[in-house]
Structures are given as structure tokens and as C-alpha cells.
Amino acid sequence: MNLRVGELARRSGLTVRTLHHYDSIGLLRPSARSEAGYRLYGRADIARLHQIQALRGLGVSLADIGAILDRPDLSLPHLVEQQIRLLDRQIAQQRLLRERLAQLHGQFRDGEEPALADWLTTLEMMTMYDRYFSPEELAALPFYQDGATKREEWTALAREAEALMRQSASPRSEAAQALARRWMCALERDTAANPAWLMKLNDMHAHEDSLQAQLGITSAIGAFIMTAFAESRLALYERYLSADEMTFMRGHYAQRMQAWPALLADLRQALDDGMAADSPQARQLAGRWLELLRGYAGDDPETHRKIRLAHEREPSLNEGTWTTPALLAYLGQAVATLQADAGR
Amino acid sequence: MNLRVGELARRSGLTVRTLHHYDSIGLLRPSARSEAGYRLYGRADIARLHQIQALRGLGVSLADIGAILDRPDLSLPHLVEQQIRLLDRQIAQQRLLRERLAQLHGQFRDGEEPALADWLTTLEMMTMYDRYFSPEELAALPFYQDGATKREEWTALAREAEALMRQSASPRSEAAQALARRWMCALERDTAANPAWLMKLNDMHAHEDSLQAQLGITSAIGAFIMTAFAESRLALYERYLSADEMTFMRGHYAQRMQAWPALLADLRQALDDGMAADSPQARQLAGRWLELLRGYAGDDPETHRKIRLAHEREPSLNEGTWTTPALLAYLGQAVATLQADAGR
DNA sequence: CTTGACCCTCACGCAACGTGAGGCCCGAGG
DNA sequence: CCTCGGGCCTCACGTTGCGTGAGGGTCAAG
């Protein structure tokens, strides 16, 4: 009733080499050898092999199988649970990867075959975004979703800005202001109008040189656009403010605008969290906003009133600013309660 | 602007060893070396590393990455599709495995911790079933679903049979007949009353010695039960048949019964496929049935009529036979059309 | 006596590094 | 000037589960 390796291999569906291997690592030693040194497997060996195969089918490592079979005090249920958890992790990982692949594939689905370099760039961008944004955020981030086309758009914008700068155009020129307005509106759109994402994007842009290289957006270009956008807004305020007021604002506006995104993001967070407009947190935000306002417009309540008037009359002042009517209303309420407090 | 390995490793999140490895396989050779032989990575090297990391994130092998980066004519989309397909296969496999593990784990969920041997046996049985049944079948097969408890039930039945045989009890004894009826009903239930699965189970039982060993069902026991079951049915026919007819049937019935499962499985298949009762296929099946009938009951139509009468009057003749009213009606129709044909 | 099918024992190869071992390089501090 | 610590270098073996020869016995059949 003893089988030789070849026979056992055929019956078990394994290879001879595999049985040799099991022998050499001590997992399944044939209980006998023929005079010529042939391995002879008995009933018990075959039974053990069956168990080995069963455990292997569960993905258990040969070392673990050996341990289990040789020390029957080990808990199989524990191991099974472990295996299940391991599998769950692996499956989740692979699903994530699959999604990313599908995403990459989808970016170029329509249209003709793009160059390898394009693919690689897209891929690189995607992995970069992966480091800065969560999967849920990525799912809603236009920059990520339409990577390839967005890249084209933005390199084009960057080229326009660069051209203006090469001509030594002033940020106050109408061309620069128009470009800045388009720029900011595009940015607002491509960050899904989410100020928090704008901040992450800025962060990413600051830290990743290769991103700057890809899009061709240098810090000089960034500064130029910021200034031009500030000028564009100042031009709108001009009709409502005195010459002195304008001089003051010109000196501080572009500077102070840097703090906007963070404040906006916090405001939006508070709003989304359902924080009441008269809650301490909301008041604190309103305080920050007032400070910002005073920073670029001075302390005169009259100036502030004029600015409010400008915003009522010039709806385009809200374009490219990541604000929504709801957000502005919330801010307005918070400021009002804060000032009512101060008035008491 | 040249980085040394350690620096690059920190920036890229890889290990020094990994960069060494990439160097040694030619995937990323630093573009320069210092006088002391230190690796110096330039901008281009860093860019290449970014691409490598991106592709690695997709699960591409280092060899493939090298090929892609060095021969830009290769199609990345093709590779991506390949990766997706690969992943899909892996995910499907792992899900299957996960299910099996959960199944195994579930078998012992309730009650106290069973012995390792029990787990291993259950596991072995499960892998054995896996070889004979498809995943869908397994999901509905009681033998598989309640492996551990079924195993207990059947070893108990086998022990009863063995006890009877040890007492040299006749298969004609009432005890043997009662056991055989219980046996067949249990078998019918545990194969979900599916004759095709009964056949697979028989097949499995014939080929897998370890199954026989586990359940303790030897071929002698099988034969004993078969004979006893035949006797049990013959006893019911006896009231309707003459002594001569009974003698003939006693000589052939147990023999011919072997062919039942196959015919039943084919009938059920035809019924499930919506094959009309007067289709050639159905007639052929009816022909096989008639042949079977003549094989154990002889050619006399009068005998056949008596047998039909017995079946009408003794509903227990249908117990443990994997038949359903629908199936019997279908068979009846097919036989009727066949005989009508023959009569013309 | 030869042939062909089995069997044996090394021993390298695979993928992507981890982990030392033994030794050179280099700037800072005594 | 010496030394110390940290970084760098080049081997080279280990990991997992076998595949794939190479070189050489064994055994029954022709």
C-alpha cells in the first residue's frame, strides 16, 4: 500500500518536486524508503498530505502548517480568523488599487492614444495627489478626476501669465486683471469650490517641485496673478471709496488676502458642522474676519460700510473667492452677534 | 543639487537598500558618483524615481517598469488593462477563499471549542467537496453547509449499519429495512433532493478512500443498505404482485436500482431545461425508464399495471427516491407519448 | 543487454528587497 | 593630529514555494 513519489504526486495533483520540497523542509517525510532509496508514502503520510493540502488551500504558509500539524495544541480557529482578517485587508487594498487603475485608464478612454510621457505624468500627478488628499476627497476633486485635461488647461494659463510677464505687463493692466479673474474662477471650479482643498493644493504646490515643473507655474507667476487679482478687486472697490481709503487698501490688500483661504476653510467647516452663528467658535471666526478687514481697510466703520455697499452692488466681487451665499450669510450673522456683544 | 542615497531615500520614503537594489538591476543608476564613490542623484534621476514609484504603486513589477521607462514605445494603457484584469482575478480568488474561511469558521461558531482534529477533518472534507462540486452547488448542499454535524449523523448511521451486520442481521429484517429507509431519506435530504448531486456524491465516495474512512461507510455497508432498501420496497410491492412476479423482481430489483440516479438526474435536467414531454429527448428518457422497468419487472404489461397501482396506493414508495410529483408527472407524460407512438 | 520510465541528490533561479559584515570617507571636537 | 560618529561602499546570505535542469542510479519490459 506504499506509494512512490510519482504515484502520490499524480493522486494528489501536486508535482514530484513539491513532495521533495515538503520532505526537505520536514513537512511531510515519507515513513519509509525502498532499498534503492525511493521514498515510500504510507496511509498516514497520505492523510497528512490531505491535511496539508487543505490548509494550503486556506492560504496558510508551509511553516504554519508544519507548526499546526506537529503541535496539536495550537488553535486553528484563531489562525482562521487571522487569515480572514489578512484577506480582508488584502482585498480592500486591491480594490483600492483597482479603482486607481480604472481611474487612470478612464482619464484617456476617449480620444486617440496619448504619448507614454502623458500617461506617466498623469500617473505621477495621481500618486502625488494621493499623498495630499483622502480617497473621498479625490473622488470629488476635479483636478484629480480630469487630470490630463486639467493639466493642459493650467499649463495654458501659466503660459499666458508668463507671456504677460515677459512683456513686462503691469499686474494693474486690464489684460493681467482679466487673466487673474479667469485664473481664480478656474481654480475655484477645479477645487470644487472647497477652500480646504484649495489650501491642500497650495500646500502641495509649495512642496512638490515636480508639480511646479509640470504645470509651469512658478512662484513668480503665482505672485503676479495674486497681485493682478487684488488689483482687479481694488478697481471695483474704487468707485465706492475715497482716494485716501484706496491708498491704504492698495498698501495692504494683496498682503492680507493670503489669510483668506484658511479663514474660509474654517468658516465652511463650522457651517458644515452645524455650528450656530452665535456659538463661541463662530464668534471667534467672525473676530478673525474683522481683524482681516481692519488689516486691509483700516478701522473706520464708515469705510467698512462702503465696502459692504460695494459687495452688494458688485456681485462680481464674489467671483473666484470660494464664497457661497450661505457662507456669507453665516459670516454676516456671526459678525452681527459679535458686534452686538461689543456694543453692549 | 546632487543628492546622496541617504538624502534621496529620506525624500522618497524608500530605503537606501532599495535604491541600491534599483541601481544594481539597472532600474535607476545615479547619473554621477563622487570621488569617494558615493552615488549622486541628479534632477533627472529624481524624476525617474518618481515615475518608478508611481508605476510601483500600480503593482507593476520592477522589470516591467524598466521596460516601460527605457522603451517609450510600449503601451502603458495595455499594461494598465492587464493589471486590472490581473487584479480582478486576484480579488475574485481572494473573495472565494474568504468565503470558504468564513464557512469553516461558521461551522464551529456555536458551542465549545472543538478539537483540532475535528477542524482538520472538516477542512479536509470541504476541500474534497470543492473538487467535486461547483461553488454554487456547495452553497446549497447540506452536506457541505453543515459538514461537522452531518459527519456526526452519518457516522452514527454507519455505526448502526455496522452493528446490524456484526449481528449477521439479514437485509430483509425489519430492523435493516427501517434503517435503510431512514438512511435513504437522510441522504435525499442531505443532497437537497437533487439526484445529480447524489451521483456526484456517489462518485466522490467511490474515489476518496479518506471519505469512507472518515464516515466509516464501507462498500459492504453500502451494499447492505442498498439491499435492505430494495427489500423494504419489495415488501410494499408484495401485496400487489403474484408470487412469480415477486420472485422475478427479487432476482433483479436491487441490481437494476443502480441505474436510477443517473436516469433521475437526466430527467430532472430535462424538466428544468423546459424540455417538452413529447420532445425526442424526453421520449428517449422515457425509453430508458421503460427498459429499466422491464429489466426488473419483466415484459408483462399486466405486471406494470400492478406496479403503477402499488405506487398510487403506497405513497411511501416515493420516499427516499429523489422523485417529486412534478417529476413523476413529467415522466408519466413522456412515457404516455412514447407508448402512444408505439401503439400507432 | 538495452531502453525508457522512474527515482535520487544537489544546486541555481525567481521577486524585491532585509539584514548584517567588514571597511572607506568625512566633518567635528579634544 | 587623533578620534569619533554617521554616512557611504561592496559583498553576500536569507526570505517563500517551489521550477528546472544536471548528473547519475533502479527496474521492468523487450
Q: Residue A104 is which amino acid?
A: L
Query: Residue written as cell 421520449?
Result: B283
Distance B18 CA to D3 C1' (A): 32
Establish whether the CB of B17 is closer than 7 Å to any nucleic acid atom in strand C: yes
C-alpha cell read off for A12: 494528489
The alpha-carbon radius of gyration of chain A (Å, integer) is 33
Collect all residues of chain A within an 8 Å Cβ-Cβ radius of residue B78.
none
Q: Residue A138 is which amino acid?
A: L
Look at residues B141, B129, B135, B93 and name the one whose alpha carbon lies nearest to residue B207. B129
C-alpha distances out from residue B232 to B78, B243, B248, Å? 67, 17, 16
**DSSP state letter for A3:** B
A88: nearest CA in chain B? B98
Lowest mean pLDDT among A2-11, A69-78, A109-118, A285-294: A109-118
| Topology classification of domain A5-70 | Multidrug-efflux Transporter Regulator; Chain: A; Domain 2 (1.10.1660)
Find the nucleotide nearest A24 (Cα to C1′).
Answer: C9
A155-212 per-position pLDDT tens digit = 999 999 999 999 988 888 999 999 999 999 999 999 999 999 999 998 988 888 778 8
- Kindly list the domain boundaries of chain B, sorted by start residue: 5-70, 79-107, 116-237, 256-344
Among A76, A96, A131, most B C-beta atoms within 10 A, so best to mutate, is A76
B158-212 per-position pLDDT tens digit = 899 999 999 988 888 998 899 999 999 999 999 999 999 999 988 888 887 778 8
Mean pLDDT, range B26-42, rounded to an integer: 95
B274-318 per-position pLDDT tens digit = 888 888 888 888 888 888 888 888 888 888 888 888 888 888 888
Least CB–CB distance from A98: residue in B53, B87, B98 = B87
**Across chain A, what does the average pLDDT equal?**
87
Collect all residues of chain B within an 8 Å Cβ-Cβ radius of residue A124.
50-51, 54
Angle between helices B62-70 and B76-107 (to 10 degrees): 170
The total of other beta-carbon atoms located within 10 Å of residue B22's CB is 20
Mean pLDDT, range A79-86, rounded to an integer: 85
A203-245 per-position pLDDT tens digit = 988 888 778 888 888 888 988 999 999 888 888 888 888 888 8
